[in-house]
Chains A and B, each alone.
Chain A
Amino acid sequence: MSLPRGASPWLEWAFTSVQAGLLVLDESLDVVFANPWLLRRARLDVADVLGRPFFEVFPSLRGSHFERRLLSARAVGFPALLSETLHQSALPLYALTGSPSSERLLKQSIQIVPMGTAQAREAGGRYLMIQVWDVTPLVVRERLLKQQAERMHAMAHIDALTDIGNRRHFDAMFEREWRNALRSQQSLGLVLFDVDHFKAYNDTYGHQRGDECLRLVAGIVESQAQRPRDVVCRYGGEEIAMLLPDTDLAGALRLARRVVDEVRARCLPHDGSPLGVVTVSAGVACERPGPGLGADTLILLADRALYQAKRLGRDQVAVLERHATPTA
């Protein structure tokens, strides 16, 4: 410790007990005081620090925003605040346990408080106090809260029945991927699936079996959309949408056909259907956004293609030639 001789007996005790880092510099930025809290976390001994220039003790801070704020606090005499959010770990201070590695750096909130003008005049120079607060627990807590918020946000985007994204999720993802496609000038694929004769299935087997049927189809669609940005959502009652970024028409058609084939291959009995088993129809659209081609057009094209597949006898994939249809 380095408190002046003659200081009150409790003063040293109080200063050594403070649960924050304290560092005092004189006007030439030599360290005149450092408390044990700070020294232990800096892995330094009092002898390494006392009477030495601050930037020799902490050379990593040379040229940093910290240096700039420190010099300005000394020059104008106004306190400076350095927030954790804008700086991350400013001083090389580490958690007490373990090795001083970058992942053990403390998250710090720092205040640089220069001595008041009148007092500085009396003291023969402007001393500067640096206070360091360990806000690591706070940062961790906020991160957890943010993760939780994100999870809740995600839950609000999940269809309770099928466990795939819901319509809200589809709308959000569709907007995002359309913008991405516009920027990257890649084509965006959209497949709309619809369970054939689903009303008859519900009427024949009841709603519970109907729900199971939807879950099965949703699972099959999901198993075919495996890239990280592929999105599968329940689009309407028995309609499921598959959004395929950076995909060409051939790729989208291939995935759509696999789903149609796979559903048929499961041989789920369906007495209300002429085919005798559960089948799906699929409408495929794939476009590169450009002038005169809005996001709505892609959905419209997929929807019309789906209608086409139904009209041609169901249990199949259809795609429309965009140029053969009037652009809306």
Chain B
Amino acid sequence: MKLTPLELDALSELFNIGVGQAADALSQLAGEPVLLSIPQVQLLPKAEVIRQLSRGDDKRVSAVRQGFHGDIVTDAILMFPAEQSLQLVQIMVGEQVPLEDLGEMEQEALAEIGNILLNSVVASVADSLDLMLDGSLPEVELGIVSDVLLAEQDIDEPLLSLQVRFEIASRRIHGYLAFLLDMRSTGLLEERVAAFIRQLRGGGA
């Protein structure tokens, strides 16, 4: 995939709309303010995403995966280093005792958090780029990041990825959002982003 810096900026803006909506929904759910921010949308090779997510000894991540299909086909994956996902769920659930592991019910809570975020960001992008999409229900995967990202395929292929920062109860939790796109979808996305920018410029002139 190749996107110009300008196109990546435009995508960041679109993602941000969805992130804002997700933050509202999560705040309501948590009963306290949840701030969400995404610094920048990037195109990174899978290998680089894996490197960034597996800093430290613990290479395990908790991931929420949702498939979207229609004009484009993509797997959207929200990933947290395992220990960060425990913190996030603990705060959201209001549990006093620190969690040592994500039990079944906590995994479902993580699925919901991911579901809210993924639905919002994909909807805001799809809406602005005029993409028709249907979605699947979220699934939680616990494992090492290279498995979650299907790294045996196209390890050098750039991924559309964004860091997501959760700020809640004066703590910061870093997540990672990645989109696995096939060739055709990549092409269409590039096309639509370019068209979106042309339209903005046309409208602004």
Decide whether A and B assemble into one complex.
yes
- Chain A residues with CB under 8 Å of chain B are 65, 68-69, 72, 75-87, 109, 111, 113, 116-117, 135, 138-139, 142, 145, 150
Q: 5 closest Cβ contacts across the A-B interface?
A: A78-B135, A76-B123, A85-B109, A83-B108, A83-B112
- A76-B126, A135-B105, A142-B104 given; name 6 further pairs at CB < 8 Å: A78-B66, A81-B108, A82-B112, A117-B133, A117-B134, A142-B105
Cα–Cα, bound, A113→B115 (Å): 12
From known contacts A76-B123, A80-B119, infer whether A85 and B93 are also in contact, taking CB-CB under 8 Å. yes
Is residue B81 contacting chain A, with contact meaning CB distance below 8 A?
no
Whether B137 lies near A111 (C-beta < 8 A) is yes
Is residue B199 contacting chain A, with contact meaning CB distance below 8 A?
no
Is residue B106 contacting chain A, with contact meaning CB distance below 8 A?
yes
- Closest-by-CB residue of A relative to B64 is A81
Q: Which of A82, A85, A111 has the most CB of B within 10 A?
A: A85
Write the nearest CB–CB distance from A143 to chain B, whole angstroms.
10
Whether A79 lies near B109 (C-beta < 8 A) is no
- Closest-by-CB residue of A relative to B122 is A78
Residue of A79, A86, A145 touching B137 (CB-CB under 8 A) = A79
- Chain B residues with CB under 8 Å of chain A are 25, 28-29, 66, 68, 70, 89, 92-93, 97, 103-106, 108-109, 111-113, 115-116, 119, 122-123, 126-127, 132-138
Whether B135 lies near A86 (C-beta < 8 A) is no
Whether A79 lies near B135 (C-beta < 8 A) is yes
Cα–Cα, bound, A87→B93 (Å): 9
Whether A138 lies near B104 (C-beta < 8 A) is yes
Whether B134 lies near A78 (C-beta < 8 A) is yes
From known contacts A76-B123, A77-B135, A116-B134, infer whether A84 and B28 are also in contact, taking CB-CB under 8 Å. no
From known contacts A80-B115, A111-B137, A138-B105, infer whether A86 and B92 are also in contact, taking CB-CB under 8 Å. yes
Q: How many A-B residue contacts, CB cutoff 8 Å?
A: 77
Cα–Cα, bound, A72→B137 (Å): 14
Whether A81 lies near B105 (C-beta < 8 A) is no
Whether B137 lies near A142 (C-beta < 8 A) is no
Write the nearest CB–CB distance from B132 to chain A, whole angstroms.
6
Write the nearest CB–CB distance from A172 to chain B, whole angstroms.
13
Cα–Cα, bound, A76→B125 (Å): 11
Q: Which residues of B contact A109 (CB under 8 A)?
A: 108
Q: Which residues of A contact B134 (CB under 8 A)?
A: 77-78, 116-117
Write the nearest CB–CB distance from B137 to chain A, whole angstroms.
5
Cα–Cα, bound, A78→B126 (Å): 12
Q: Which residues of B contact A76 (CB under 8 A)?
A: 119, 123, 126-127
From known contacts A86-B92, A113-B137, A117-B134, infer whether A78 and B105 are also in contact, taking CB-CB under 8 Å. no
- Closest-by-CB residue of A relative to B70 is A117
Q: Which of A65, A68, A83 has the most CB of B within 10 A?
A: A83
Write the nearest CB–CB distance from B78 to chain A, whole angstroms.
13
Q: Which residues of A contact B127 (CB under 8 A)?
A: 76
Write the nearest CB–CB distance from B90 to chain A, whole angstroms.
11
- Closest-by-CB residue of B relative to A143 is B105
Whether B109 lies near A72 (C-beta < 8 A) is no
Whether A65 lies near B28 (C-beta < 8 A) is yes
Whether A85 lies near B106 (C-beta < 8 A) is yes
- Closest-by-CB residue of A relative to B21 is A72
Whether B29 lies near A86 (C-beta < 8 A) is yes
Q: Which residues of A contact B89 (CB under 8 A)?
A: 85
Q: Which residues of B contact A68 (CB under 8 A)?
A: 25, 28
- Closest-by-CB residue of A relative to B95 is A85
Q: Which residues of A contact B93 (CB under 8 A)?
A: 85-86
Q: Which residues of A contact B109 (CB under 8 A)?
A: 83, 85-86
Whether B108 lies near A85 (C-beta < 8 A) is yes
Whether A79 lies near B136 (C-beta < 8 A) is yes
Q: Which residues of B contact A84 (CB under 8 A)?
A: 105, 108
Cα–Cα, bound, A83→B113 (Å): 9
Q: Which residues of B contact A111 (CB under 8 A)?
A: 137
Cα–Cα, bound, A85→B126 (Å): 30
From known contacts A83-B111, A86-B109, A86-B112, infer whether A72 and B104 are also in contact, taking CB-CB under 8 Å. no
Q: Which residues of A contact B70 (CB under 8 A)?
A: 117
Q: Which residues of B contact A87 (CB under 8 A)?
A: 29
Cα–Cα, bound, A142→B56 (Å): 31
Write the nearest CB–CB distance from B96 to chain A, whole angstroms.
12
- Closest-by-CB residue of A relative to B113 is A86
Write the nearest CB–CB distance from A116 to chain B, whole angstroms.
4
Q: Which residues of A contact B116 (CB under 8 A)?
A: 69, 80
Write the nearest CB–CB distance from B99 to chain A, whole angstroms.
10
Cα–Cα, bound, A150→B136 (Å): 37
Whether B119 lies near A85 (C-beta < 8 A) is no
Whether A85 lies near B28 (C-beta < 8 A) is no
